[in-house]
Amino acid sequence: MGKYINIKSATNPRSTSTGGIMIDVTIEGFDGVKQFHAVPWDPEEHGRDLYQRAIDGEFGEVAEYVPPVLTVEAKAAIATQAVHQHLDTQAQAFGYDDIKSACSYADEPAVPKFQAEGIAFRKWRSLVWEYYYAVLAAVAAGDRSEPTVEGLIAELPALDMLAS
């Protein structure tokens, strides 16, 4: 085991998303206030000790976990990734590596089945992104509420393999 550290002061205990407690501490031998993530399974005795002392209320009431507020850009990045995953998953269901692979067959005349699928995937990909960017614009303009990622995916145009 490591060396036990001496805590000079501990304040502001707050729950974390992982089941631990974040505490603002000053540590003997270190300058300034540090954040310490105390967990009951810490391999170091001082970590387990700090966790228990926080649970016991020694440093004040442990504040409930408050998830971070995501920026508009972060939310859009999450949604964009989900749309990419949705496109890839649908293409993979037809045996393609991803949506790009599926679309690459659109200009392949040697195997009509693959060409038809490629054309359908390429058309669908365009319709999906057109719809997605329209949703983003409508949310930004205040014309509609922001959908959840699951709701957004459910709203996207369906893949129609018959329409190519």
- Mean pLDDT within 49-67: 94
> Is 142 inside a domain boundary?
yes
118 shares a domain with 78: yes
- Mean pLDDT within 55-79: 92
Please give the pLDDT value at position 162: 63
Enclosing domain of residue 113: 72-155
> Is 66 inside a domain boundary?
no
Please give the pLDDT value at position 5: 77
Helix-helix angle 112-141:72-93, to 10 degrees: 160
Average pLDDT, the chain: 92
79 shares a domain with 31: no
Q: How far apart, in whole angstroms, are the C-alpha atoms of residue 60 and residue 48?
A: 17
82 shares a domain with 44: no
> Is 161 inside a domain boundary?
no
35: β partners? 24
Instruction: For 81-136, give the secondary structure using H, E and C.
Output: HHHHHHHHHHHHHCCCCCHHHHHHHHHCCCCHHHHHHHHHHHHHHHHHHHHHHHHH
Please give the pLDDT value at position 163: 53
How many domains does the chain contain in total?
A: 2
Chain segment 8-34, per-residue pLDDT in tens: 899 999 999 999 999 999 988 889 999
pLDDT above 70: residue 2? no
Please give the pLDDT value at position 3: 65
Chain segment 120-140, per-residue pLDDT in tens: 999 999 999 999 999 999 999
- Mean pLDDT within 23-46: 92
